[in-house]
Chains A and B, each alone.
Chain A
């Protein structure tokens, strides 16, 4: 889209929400965008209020891209990206490299023997398993552990972390503005010279993360079962952490291949927000990231979730108090009805005046908490719109589900009132305004909007789409998608004989 058209869209739209037009123009004036010849895209927003800078690396690959049988691989690579490079984190790279190769060689033998299944020689497996452990410990002797993140922290880096979601892998931190070049150095180094140092120890850590987030958390278990039940074919059915046995068998060669395929420069968008000089940023970007070779873009996931053939159900036995999810399939974020789903979830659970809060939580006191998520677990592919219900004391999940059905039926029967619709739109707009003074948040938003929609300005123009949603749209979408055959219910139930 050309610039003038954007302004034409934005000015009338935001005038009513008190974001003065000149502020928006001002915002756009402070944005510099460029793409390196290798395809890597940069969005730079100047905010000179304080000498600090936020960096956000948005990799357009996530757990949906995990190969078959290797769930958790995108997440595993995310962890490896903090292990340093050949020159950062090694006491003796040639020796370490050899020791790491030795691990793989012995591990290959172990795998070959194990893969014989029933015919495998147990004694040989045990011996090779011991050899792998010994090789891992040998390689460990050359490691300067955690040097990469330590450099960032010692230089005053804060908020350092990373995350793997279904659609993306994100790396981010903030630095004092005089250390901008350090980010270019370190961020380019980890994509130029990734090493798979301490891979098998980190695999244990990643396995622990799954124990923490899923296996030992009733809500995590329920979420995992909801996805695995509702989604039959599309990889959205797998949580980003992966399945236990897949994690336990991940290998270095898998991670290498994943990196080579999905971390192509054209698949990465950088958001940089703060006290920077965009000309300097551009020069540094060329100097540091220009060294990455152009590579083909990876294929998107071609599996399309087929239409659901009827109501589905999942129970999770748990001594925890009851929780229930009710999910319906919905199209991807590129569908024309995407903004309608956003409006629907806001109407249902945005704030104290929302339909579900008023009805289920406040007036009927059936639920301790109840609400809706418009898009889960991702947006790039057809996903789920889901409702959550946490029954209050003395009330059951069944009562809550019945009341939810009444709420849904009502949305389908009659149109929402204009006042509620207007309230949702006003709140959405204001919500964006409140986010505009946060470097880290903006770096994330600008890079992800670009990667997902091809234009960071979608962050603003999506408000216009929300504004055009009518009561008819809301009713139509509720009727079309919230149907019995499109429905999955997942709930926790108490083990027999109580706790």
Chain B
């Protein structure tokens, strides 16, 4: 703070005068001197647990006359039954659209939109969420609706059929966009199609879902001890605490503790999977292997490695495949670690049909290089500088602090994980980068998915000397639309 004030002092002398510059810009950006960055006060999150077990997190933020909140529920698509894949997604939508014991879904839509507020619900792979957003003056009404949606949804049958139709429409269109096909097929191939990490909802699994299934799924996971509630915005924490206690204190639903999520048990078959299509001029590809966890000891070194390989504008893949060869607009790699389940190490991009094989070869060459030779000191320093100098952007809004705390608590990570990570990145050496590249990456194990037009590939993919298999993306039919 002191440094900054001093830096500004001579400038203030000009105050409101027409600007007169008595300096000339330095010849090089390297001559610029930056003052120390002002320290930031990390906001304090108020935490407490209701008698029914619901954990609550409050953060005052008075900048705008608004409020936002989120109920985070320990559930997820990973808990779908094998014959009813899609049940969690359906439940997540229907909690909101199906209405509550006191109001229909349409009534809720109107009431909320009349006051420019929203309540939304959804279930993702590893969590469920119900959120709200409102102007401060309408907070009581919106909190009331949020409470009803969370605690007393009724799963109207008509709305269930509507959500079913929406999900069927999603299945019908899932092969239309080449990029998402590549990403999906790659991920499914890595995790395997026979388990919750790699299976897809189908007409057959959607059609089997009944209202009773949805209600049972909701009951099993939506109970206070299984929920974290976070509220932030323009309120006083003690008042909000009293409101939350009054609203949710009487919610007595109980269930046995939710079991842990299934573990990844992946044995992908290495090789190239091709999804042929004729309506494209480009091949979309995704390639790599199973990654790891954020809590792995080597995660910081892997992140540095992946950043140097394909993280930013100065990454090797960007320089080679995009800038030097002009083969691709998008090309990147990401170590992609997960909190509690192994993520995937992804290299993805797209290139004109004719340069498909050459692009993949250029990528393999870069992988071989990072596995055989230490990265340069400049590359390592650059990767570290990005993390250190950009660190402030993890704290530039109060909501980032709240969201991070919530995420760490949800997955059982230490509150200071981000600081541990930053420190660990600083200690990564060139030898570490080489070691993790050798230890964790095995191109022989790679799965490559290419979505494109093989007739225009020019050099065939078989030139990569990996087994090539054609993917069948036909969507299994099941029954007529309801």
Residues of A within 8 A of B (CB): 17-20, 23, 34, 49-52, 82, 87-88, 140, 145-147, 149-151, 153-158, 160, 174, 176-179, 181-182, 184-186, 188-189, 198, 201-209, 211-212, 215-218, 275, 277, 279-280, 282-283, 285-288, 290-291, 318-321, 351-353, 362, 365, 368, 390, 392-394, 419, 422-423, 426-427, 429-431, 433-434, 436-437, 439
Shortest distance in angstroms between A370's beta carbon and chain B's nearest beta carbon? 12
Considering only CB atoms, which chain A residue lies closest to B166 in the complex? Answer: A368
Summed over the interface, the residue pairs from A and B with CB atoms below 8 Å come to a total of 245
Q: Would you mind naming 8 contact pairs between A and B with Cβ atoms under 8 Å apart? A: A17-B116, A18-B135, A176-B390, A178-B35, A182-B29, A185-B25, A422-B114, A427-B116
A287, B395: Cβ atoms closer than 8 Å: no
A393 to B165 alpha-carbon distance, docked (Å): 7
A178, B34: Cβ atoms closer than 8 Å: yes
Shortest distance in angstroms between A90's beta carbon and chain B's nearest beta carbon? 12
B328, A87: Cβ atoms closer than 8 Å: no
Residue with the highest number of chain B CB atoms closer than 10 Å, among A150, A154, A427: A154
A88, B29: Cβ atoms closer than 8 Å: yes
Binds A, one of B6-14, B145-153, B214-222, B263-271: B6-14
A363 to B278 alpha-carbon distance, docked (Å): 36
Point out the residues of chain A lying under 8 angstroms from B396, CB to CB.
49-50, 52, 439
Point out the residues of chain B lying under 8 angstroms from A277, CB to CB.
8, 11
Point out the residues of chain B lying under 8 angstroms from A156, CB to CB.
385-386, 388-393
Which chain B residues (160-207) contact chain A, with CB distance < 8 Å? 162, 165-166, 168-170, 172-173, 176-179
A275 to B397 alpha-carbon distance, docked (Å): 13
Shortest distance in angstroms between A25's beta carbon and chain B's nearest beta carbon? 14
Does B242 sit within 8 A of A, measured CB to CB? Answer: no
B11, A351: Cβ atoms closer than 8 Å: no
A286, B29: Cβ atoms closer than 8 Å: no
B40, A51: Cβ atoms closer than 8 Å: yes
Point out the residues of chain A lying under 8 angstroms from B388, CB to CB.
156
Shortest distance in angstroms between A172's beta carbon and chain B's nearest beta carbon? 14
Binds A, one of B73-81, B280-288, B416-424, B428-436: B280-288
A429 to B24 alpha-carbon distance, docked (Å): 45
Does B262 sit within 8 A of A, measured CB to CB? Answer: no
Given A208-B326, A286-B20, A352-B113: A49 in contact with B63 (beta carbons within 8 A): yes
A208, B390: Cβ atoms closer than 8 Å: no
Residue with the highest number of chain A CB atoms closer than 10 Å, among B284, B329, B351: B329
Shortest distance in angstroms between A200's beta carbon and chain B's nearest beta carbon? 8
A50, B382: Cβ atoms closer than 8 Å: no
- A185 in complex: contacting residue of B29, B113, B170, B328, CB < 8 Å: B29
B326, A202: Cβ atoms closer than 8 Å: yes
Shortest distance in angstroms between B163's beta carbon and chain A's nearest beta carbon? 10
Given A177-B37, A205-B329: A23 in contact with B65 (beta carbons within 8 A): yes
Does B51 sit within 8 A of A, measured CB to CB? Answer: no
A177 to B393 alpha-carbon distance, docked (Å): 11
A217, B32: Cβ atoms closer than 8 Å: no
Given A150-B314, A429-B116: A279 in contact with B14 (beta carbons within 8 A): yes
Shortest distance in angstroms between A345's beta carbon and chain B's nearest beta carbon? 15
Considering only CB atoms, which chain B residue lies closest to A319 in the complex? Answer: B279
B114, A50: Cβ atoms closer than 8 Å: no
A296 to B19 alpha-carbon distance, docked (Å): 23
- A178 in complex: contacting residue of B37, B116, B173, CB < 8 Å: B37
Shortest distance in angstroms between B235's beta carbon and chain A's nearest beta carbon? 14
B21, A283: Cβ atoms closer than 8 Å: yes
Known: A17-B116, A321-B176. 5 other contacts (CB 8 A): A145-B314, A155-B385, A178-B36, A279-B12, A434-B66
A286 to B481 alpha-carbon distance, docked (Å): 66
B326, A201: Cβ atoms closer than 8 Å: yes
A50, B40: Cβ atoms closer than 8 Å: yes
Does B312 sit within 8 A of A, measured CB to CB? Answer: yes
Does B297 sit within 8 A of A, measured CB to CB? Answer: no
Point out the residues of chain B lying under 8 angstroms from A351, CB to CB.
109, 113
Binds A, one of B244-252, B317-325, B407-415: B317-325
Shortest distance in angstroms between B375's beta carbon and chain A's nearest beta carbon? 15
**4 A-B pairs with least C-beta separation:** A156-B389, A204-B326, A430-B116, A368-B169
A208 to B285 alpha-carbon distance, docked (Å): 14
A51 to B169 alpha-carbon distance, docked (Å): 46
A158, B312: Cβ atoms closer than 8 Å: no
Shortest distance in angstroms between B231's beta carbon and chain A's nearest beta carbon? 16
- B323 in complex: contacting residue of A188, A198, A286, A392, CB < 8 Å: A198
Considering only CB atoms, which chain A residue lies closest to B277 in the complex? Answer: A319
B166, A18: Cβ atoms closer than 8 Å: no
Considering only CB atoms, which chain A residue lies closest to B165 in the complex? Answer: A365
A283 to B25 alpha-carbon distance, docked (Å): 11
A50 to B64 alpha-carbon distance, docked (Å): 15
B392, A321: Cβ atoms closer than 8 Å: no
A18, B350: Cβ atoms closer than 8 Å: no
Shortest distance in angstroms between A366's beta carbon and chain B's nearest beta carbon? 10
A208, B350: Cβ atoms closer than 8 Å: yes
Point out the residues of chain A lying under 8 angstroms from B325, CB to CB.
201
- B481 in complex: contacting residue of A160, A394, A423, CB < 8 Å: A394
Point out the residues of chain B lying under 8 angstroms from A275, CB to CB.
38
Residue with the highest number of chain B CB atoms closer than 10 Å, among A157, A218, A279, A419: A279
A88 to B113 alpha-carbon distance, docked (Å): 52
A353, B313: Cβ atoms closer than 8 Å: no
A154, B385: Cβ atoms closer than 8 Å: yes
A390 to B32 alpha-carbon distance, docked (Å): 53
A433, B114: Cβ atoms closer than 8 Å: no
- B390 in complex: contacting residue of A88, A157, A188, A430, CB < 8 Å: A157
Which chain B residues (281-332) contact chain A, with CB distance < 8 Å? 281-282, 284, 312-314, 318-319, 322-330
Point out the residues of chain B lying under 8 angstroms from A362, CB to CB.
162
Shortest distance in angstroms between A195's beta carbon and chain B's nearest beta carbon? 14
A153, B314: Cβ atoms closer than 8 Å: yes
Shortest distance in angstroms between B29's beta carbon and chain A's nearest beta carbon? 5
Point out the residues of chain B lying under 8 angstroms from A150, CB to CB.
312-314, 382
Point out the residues of chain A lying under 8 angstroms from B21, CB to CB.
283, 286-287, 290
A459 to B339 alpha-carbon distance, docked (Å): 41
Contact with A along B41-58 (1 / 0, CB 8 A): 000000000000000000
A282 to B278 alpha-carbon distance, docked (Å): 55
Does B253 sit within 8 A of A, measured CB to CB? Answer: no
B329, A51: Cβ atoms closer than 8 Å: no
- B328 in complex: contacting residue of A34, A140, A205, CB < 8 Å: A205
A422 to B116 alpha-carbon distance, docked (Å): 11
Considering only CB atoms, which chain B residue lies closest to A54 in the complex? Answer: B396
Shortest distance in angstroms between A216's beta carbon and chain B's nearest beta carbon? 4
B280, A215: Cβ atoms closer than 8 Å: yes
Point out the residues of chain A lying under 8 angstroms from B136, CB to CB.
18
Shortest distance in angstroms between B169's beta carbon and chain A's nearest beta carbon? 4
Shortest distance in angstroms between B64's beta carbon and chain A's nearest beta carbon? 5
Given A202-B326, A433-B135: A20 in contact with B65 (beta carbons within 8 A): yes
Given A52-B396, A211-B352, A352-B109: A279 in contact with B11 (beta carbons within 8 A): yes
Does B466 sit within 8 A of A, measured CB to CB? Answer: no
Given A51-B40, A88-B29, A179-B34: A282 in contact with B165 (beta carbons within 8 A): no
Point out the residues of chain B lying under 8 angstroms from A285, CB to CB.
19
Shortest distance in angstroms between B316's beta carbon and chain A's nearest beta carbon? 10
- B386 in complex: contacting residue of A154, A429, A433, CB < 8 Å: A154
Considering only CB atoms, which chain A residue lies closest to B174 in the complex? Answer: A321
A351 to B115 alpha-carbon distance, docked (Å): 12
Point out the residues of chain B lying under 8 angstroms from A88, CB to CB.
29
Given A178-B38, A321-B173: A287 in contact with B25 (beta carbons within 8 A): yes
A198 to B392 alpha-carbon distance, docked (Å): 34
A160 to B352 alpha-carbon distance, docked (Å): 26
Does B470 sit within 8 A of A, measured CB to CB? Answer: no
Does B471 sit within 8 A of A, measured CB to CB? Answer: no
